[in-house]
């Protein structure tokens, strides 16, 4: 006698638990591949975007990172359709192979110095393939596990899928740290950073083996056997207003806020430690790893709790708490991570006094624009040093000045200078600026003796707990919003638009805002505004779903 979906919802035997575990472990390796690039973005910028200035190098490396997120919704559409038409298992195999091979080829790709502009072009192409594959991964894993879970435990069981994303990040950090400490910083920066990407070939083999052990979802098998599966999932999901409306509300009222909280708590926090606070990369990675170790069990806790008090309450509470506390938490990271910056900014604040019309938004994706105005020269020099500053308007046409406490340094106009003279004056200006900043107490790097690592871990762990609040229950909430016949397609698109576009661009948008304004906290406005928007939209327009029947 065939096992029915109703039977499956009543209990889970050891075999089915093993299948769910196998699905989760495979997802760990997918996320490991994807997180490597994010953790190594600064180094990748130096190797693949050598033709750009330093600020543009890092921002463009982040944009290449974000490119993988940008195509995730398209992967959700392609693989979601396949998952709803032919099944969850076979879609898993396709996504894991594409992801693994793309990551391996990043590890062997020559840099800009060897093949020129082809290097960043191929890198971005590989990132796009990674993003497409990941776009088909999450919806399948969440749908697969939820369709095996008994009523009243979907939040708990799908929370293990949520853990896999953090385990993937944790694993990537451990491999990076192990390689860095084994080779030394200089060797790692030169070529050792490739090793974690090459290790992914081993993980690919393990992941494919795990995926081969999976059985198809019993709910999907029964639905297909009865001829009730969708023949046109894209048309049903997005061509009918009733379903399309839920897709839009799921995006704006759930996944957009969830995504920015997630990426702020993990990626943006890591970049803030290294780029703004000048904490060395190894220490910053260890701090993030410690925070993840503390926070990870809360994924299961909030998944379990969502089965009792609801998904909506927990997710929206996480968005609101994050929005209300990001500024004090990140200021706390500065206070405990590099107190010298905080002290210097209080006693000798830096101000750029310039004609606003002479100040450019210094982002040059092709490396051809020359930022030669006196304002651009001053701001570029400060950005390279990671110095926070405020802006003061000057008279039209005035030469920009940098005020450091009671000291004033006059910038220069470089439009009439040739490249050699411009470089020479820029070097002299940078040296004078650096000497004055050092005298005012601004450090070039964080002093480990002044850093309070315990408090840093506490603050970072709070950020991770916010992540667990919004991410732990989200899979169950999304699965329960849509019918089985179009579930894979319908839930994948809002999830990947939210996480790929709203969340994936958090580091890029955040640091572009910081480079624009000079305020190291200004980038937080982006996740705060999105999280607050999600809180109100979700509160007003989305329903609680924990007790719905997801069978067909």
pTM of the model: 0.83
Contact present, 333 and 327 (Cβ < 8 Å) = no
Residue 58 to residue 45: CA distance in whole angstroms: 6
463-503 per-position pLDDT tens digit: 999 999 999 999 999 989 988 778 778 888 898 889 878 98
What is residue 125's predicted lDDT score, i.e. its pLDDT? Answer: 87
Question: 5-338+448-541 maps to which CATH number?
Answer: 1.20.1250.20
User: In tens digits, what is the pLDDT along the chain, a chain of 552 residues?
Assistant: 333 333 434 444 555 566 666 667 667 776 787 678 777 877 887 888 776 666 666 667 767 766 777 788 888 888 877 777 776 667 777 888 888 888 889 889 998 888 887 888 888 888 888 888 888 777 777 777 887 778 888 898 888 887 877 788 778 888 988 998 899 888 998 899 999 989 888 878 877 887 777 666 666 666 666 565 566 667 776 778 888 999 999 999 999 999 999 999 988 998 899 988 999 888 998 899 899 889 989 999 999 999 999 999 999 999 999 999 999 999 999 999 999 999 999 999 999 999 999 888 766 544 556 778 999 899 888 877 888 999 999 999 999 999 999 999 999 998 888 888 988 998 999 999 999 999 999 998 999 999 999 999 999 999 999 999 999 999 999 989 988 778 778 888 898 889 878 987 888 788 878 878 889 999 999 999 999 999 999 999 999 999 887 775
Sequence-separated contacts (24+) of 357-366 with Cβ below 8 Å: 357/396, 358/397, 358/400, 359/391, 359/400, 361/516, 362/55, 362/56, 362/515, 363/55, 363/56, 363/59, 363/512, 363/515, 364/52, 364/53, 364/56, 365/52, 365/56, 365/60, 365/63
Question: By percentage, how much of the chain surpasses pLDDT 90?
Answer: 39
Which letter, b or e, does each residue of 262-288 get, where b requires 16 or more Cβ atoms within 10 Å of its Cβ? bbbbbbbbbbbbbbbbbbebebbbbbb
3 state SS of 20: helix
User: How far is 404 from 515, CA to CA, in rounded Å?
Assistant: 18
Residue extents of the structural domains in the chain: 5-338+448-541, 342-439
Q: Which fold has domain 342-439?
A: Glutaredoxin (3.40.30)
Quick one: pLDDT at residue 33? Answer: 74
């Amino acid at each position: 006698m065939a096992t029915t979906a109703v039977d499956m919802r009543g209990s889970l035997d050891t075999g089915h638990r093993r299948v769910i575990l196998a699905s989760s472990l495979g997802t760990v390796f997918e996320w490991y591949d994807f997180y490597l690039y994010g953790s190594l973005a600064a180094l990748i910028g130096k190797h693949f975007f050598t033709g750009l200035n330093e600020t543009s190098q890092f921002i463009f490396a982040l944009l290449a990172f974000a490119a993988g997120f940008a195509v995730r919704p398209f992967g959700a559409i392609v693989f979601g359709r396949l998952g709803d038409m032919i099944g969850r298992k076979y879609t898993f195999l396709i996504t894991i192979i594409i992801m693994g091979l793309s990551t391996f080829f990043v590890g062997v790709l020559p840099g800009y110095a060897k093949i020129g502009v082809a290097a960043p072009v191929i890198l971005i192409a590989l990132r796009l393939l990674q993003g497409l594959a990941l776009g088909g991964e999450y919806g399948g894993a969440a749908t697969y596990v939820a369709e095996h879970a008994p009523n009243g435990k979907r939040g708990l069981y799908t929370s293990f899928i949520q853990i896999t994303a953090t385990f993937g990040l944790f694993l990537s950090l451990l491999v990076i740290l192990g390689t860095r400490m084994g080779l030394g910083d200089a060797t790692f920066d030169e070529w050792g950073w490739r090793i974690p990407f090459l290790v992914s070939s081993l993980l690919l083999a393990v992941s494919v083996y795990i995926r081969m052990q999976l059985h198809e979802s019993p709910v999907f098998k029964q639905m297909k056997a009865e001829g009730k599966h969708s023949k046109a999932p894209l048309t049903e999901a997005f061509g009918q207003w009733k379903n399309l409306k839920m897709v839009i509300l799921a995006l704006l009222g759930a996944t957009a806020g969830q995504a920015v909280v997630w990426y702020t708590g993990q990626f943006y926090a890591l970049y803030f430690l290294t780029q703004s606070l000048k904490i060395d990369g190894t220490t910053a990675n260890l701090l993030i790893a410690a925070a993840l170790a503390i926070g990870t069990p809360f994924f299961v806790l909030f998944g379990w709790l969502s089965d009792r008090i609801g998904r909506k309450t927990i997710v929206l509470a996480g968005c609101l708490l994050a929005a209300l506390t990001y500024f004090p938490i990140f200021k706390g990271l500065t206070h405990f991570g590099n107190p010298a910056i905080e002290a210097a900014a209080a006693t000798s604040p830096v101000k750029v006094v310039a004609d606003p019309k002479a100040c450019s938004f210094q982002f040059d994706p092709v490396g051809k624009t020359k930022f030669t105005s006196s304002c651009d020269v001053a701001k570029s020099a400060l950005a390279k040093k990671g110095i926070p500053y405020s802006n003061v308007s000057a008279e039209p046409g005035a030469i920009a000045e940098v005020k450091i406490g009671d000291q004033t340094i006059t910038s220069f106009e470089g439009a009439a200078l040739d490249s050699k003279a411009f470089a020479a004056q820029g070097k002299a200006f940078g040296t004078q600026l650096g000497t004055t900043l050092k005298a005012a107490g601004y450090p070039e790097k964080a002093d480990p003796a002044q850093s309070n690592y315990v408090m840093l871990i506490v603050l970072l762990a709070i950020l991770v707990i916010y992540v667990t609040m919004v991410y732990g229950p989200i899979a169950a909430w999304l699965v329960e919003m849509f019918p089985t016949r179009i579930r894979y397609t319908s839930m994948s698109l809002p999830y990947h638009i939210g996480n790929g576009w709203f969340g994936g661009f958090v580091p890029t948008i955040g640091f572009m805002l910081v480079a624009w304004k000079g305020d190291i906290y200004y980038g937080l406005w982006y996740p705060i505004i999105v999280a607050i928007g999600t809180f109100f939209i979700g509160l007003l327009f989305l329903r609680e779903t924990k007790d719905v029947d997801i069978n067909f």
